[in-house]
């Protein structure tokens, strides 16, 4: 598909004419809320097969072919132009679509309270066709090894209707936060661990889960080896039931990276023990931190570059956020949290405040600033078609197993459009 960035004077009609499609098709594909009021800098996905490229200064058939991975002779043939021709600036060239690559697609879903909201169930209905796994977050471990279970509502049936496997996410969350003390008990008190593994196996088999996903975070550094030993025990037990085991890993760039989020996560050991891992390559920009891109491509790349040196690429899922944040300025440590917004909401905020969307090329992420009705300055970072395409390019470049989304519930239609265009989603037998 084509990604078009709205410029001064663009209308949906003029954009549709440029790409030989219709305004209605673009509106439907992007779920545009205000098709007659586009935002300068807004990225729009054009629903066509392949894409068009407009020749820039210094381009040649050879350089364009290298950029898109197509022989220059083939590029000339498709566009019916001589191989030796000098390309005029602005010439529109057709680029055929890439061959689809199979990937595993994983998405967390987090019900709150005692029921699964209609919003979450609708998100699952809409998105499970593009998922290998729907991961129910979370089964919280208690200090005696029992589990507090989340509501599941109709999620199991929704997943079954699209041949999507259910994953059971097990966490050391306690009173709303990851607990190192609880983690230490789980990993070192044998009686608690025995009870926990029995409960996990029983819940996973009774619930028809195909994967048990351990998201143990902020563990004590000294619990690195006990965590590895626990995973070996869990893998042995669950493999006997034909159930996969996966883990969530903090975004490390070095095996000895300091900080409590990182030290107990042994990339090499997890890569050897479990079936696959999720790299939590997001939250550089987070709700209680300063305004930043949530998953800047330069930082994501650094994590992947380290991970592939110690974990087989076919076991790695790159983590990806489906949201952004709206910070009120000035940022103050310990001040109010930034507001989570969907990509659709971010565009609406820019439109309502009549401000253009900018794009940071280092982070490969869109952002903008605005002043609210009370005179307070805001800074918003979010995801769009360009930023997610940059992540999809990383999956291809490093030949990763696929992608894992945190989390369903906030609308980002362009993500699923581009995913469906470029990848074949693996479904388990």
Burial (CB count <10 Å: 0-12, 13-18, 19+), residue 330: exposed
Q: Which residue in the list 121, 217, 379, 383 is annotated as catalytic?
A: 217
User: Residue 6's CB: how many other CB atoms inside 10 A?
Assistant: 18
Cα of first residue to Cα of last residue in the chain, in angstroms, is 29
CATH of domain 101-322+387-425: 3.20.20.80
Numbered ranges of CATH 3.10.350.10 in the chain: 2-95
177 backbone dihedrals φ, ψ, rounded to 5°: -140, 155
Give the span between the Cα atoms of 96 and 29, in whole angstroms: 20
**Tens of each residue's pLDDT in the chain, 429 residues:** 899 999 999 999 999 999 999 999 999 999 999 999 999 999 999 999 999 999 999 999 999 999 888 999 999 999 999 998 889 999 999 999 988 999 999 999 999 989 999 999 999 999 999 999 999 999 999 999 999 999 999 999 999 999 999 999 999 999 999 999 999 999 999 999 999 999 999 999 999 999 999 999 999 999 999 999 999 999 999 999 999 999 999 999 999 999 999 999 999 999 999 999 999 999 999 999 999 999 999 999 999 999 999 999 999 999 999 999 999 999 999 999 999 999 999 999 999 999 999 999 999 999 999 999 999 999 999 999 999 999 999 999 999 999 999 999 999 999 999 999 999 999 998
Residues of the chain with CATH 3.20.20.80: 101-322+387-425
In the block, residue with structure tokens 């999720």: 278
Q: What is the CATH number of domain 2-95?
A: 3.10.350.10
Nearest CA to 281 out of 256, 317, 231, 239 is that of: 317
Q: Is 222 a catalytic residue?
A: no
Per residue, the 3-state secondary structure of 18-75, as one string, reads HCCCCHHHHHHHHCCCCCCCCCCCCEEEECCCCEEEECCCCCCHHHHHHHHCCCHHHH
């Amino acid at each position: 598909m084509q990604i078009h960035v709205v410029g001064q004077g663009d209308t949906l009609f003029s954009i549709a004419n440029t790409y030989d499609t219709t305004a209605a098709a673009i509106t439907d594909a992007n779920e545009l809320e205000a098709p007659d009021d586009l935002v300068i800098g807004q990225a729009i996905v054009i629903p066509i097969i392949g894409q068009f490229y407009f020749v820039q200064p210094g381009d040649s058939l050879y350089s364009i072919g290298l950029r898109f991975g197509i022989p220059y002779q083939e590029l000339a043939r498709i566009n019916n132009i001589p191989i030796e021709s000098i390309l005029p600036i602005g010439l529109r060239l057709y680029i055929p679509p890439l061959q689809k690559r199979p990937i595993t697609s994983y998405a967390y879903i987090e019900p709150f309270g005692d029921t699964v909201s209609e919003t979450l169930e609708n998100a699952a209905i809409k998105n499970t066709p593009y998922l290998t796994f729907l991961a129910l977050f979370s089964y919280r471990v208690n200090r005696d090894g029992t589990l507090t279970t989340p509501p599941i509502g109709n999620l199991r049936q929704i997943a079954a209707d699209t041949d999507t496997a259910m994953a059971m996410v097990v966490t050391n969350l306690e009173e709303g936060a990851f607990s190192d003390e609880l983690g230490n008990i789980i990993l070192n008190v044998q009686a608690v661990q025995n009870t926990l593994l029995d409960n996990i196996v029983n819940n996973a088999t009774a619930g028809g889960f195909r994967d048990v996903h351990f998201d143990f975070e902020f563990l004590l550094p000294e619990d690195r080896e006990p965590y590895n030993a626990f995973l070996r025990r869990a893998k042995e037990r669950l493999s006997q039931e034909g159930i996969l085991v996966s883990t969530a890993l903090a975004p490390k760039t070095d095996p000895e990276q300091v900080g409590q989020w990182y030290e107990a996560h042994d990339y090499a050991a997890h890569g050897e023990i479990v079936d696959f891992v999720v790299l939590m390559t997001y939250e550089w920009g987070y709700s209680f931190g300063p305004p930043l891109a949530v998953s800047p491509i330069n930082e994501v790349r650094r994590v992947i570059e380290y991970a592939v040196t110690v974990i087989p690429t076919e076991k790695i899922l790159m983590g990806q956020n489906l949201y952004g944040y709206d910070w009120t300025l000035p940022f103050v440590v310990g001040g109010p949290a930034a507001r989570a917004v969907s990509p659709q909401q971010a565009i609406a905020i820019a439109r309502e405040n009549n401000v253009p969307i900018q794009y940071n090329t280092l982070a490969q992420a869109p952002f903008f600033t605005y002043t609210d009705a009370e005179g307070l300055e805001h800074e918003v970072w979010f995801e769009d078609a360009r930023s997610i395409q940059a992540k999809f390019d990383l999956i291809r470049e490093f030949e990763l197993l696929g992608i894992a989304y945190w989390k369903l519930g906030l609308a980002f239609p362009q993500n699923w459009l581009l995913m469906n265009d470029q990848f074949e989603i693996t479904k388990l037998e």
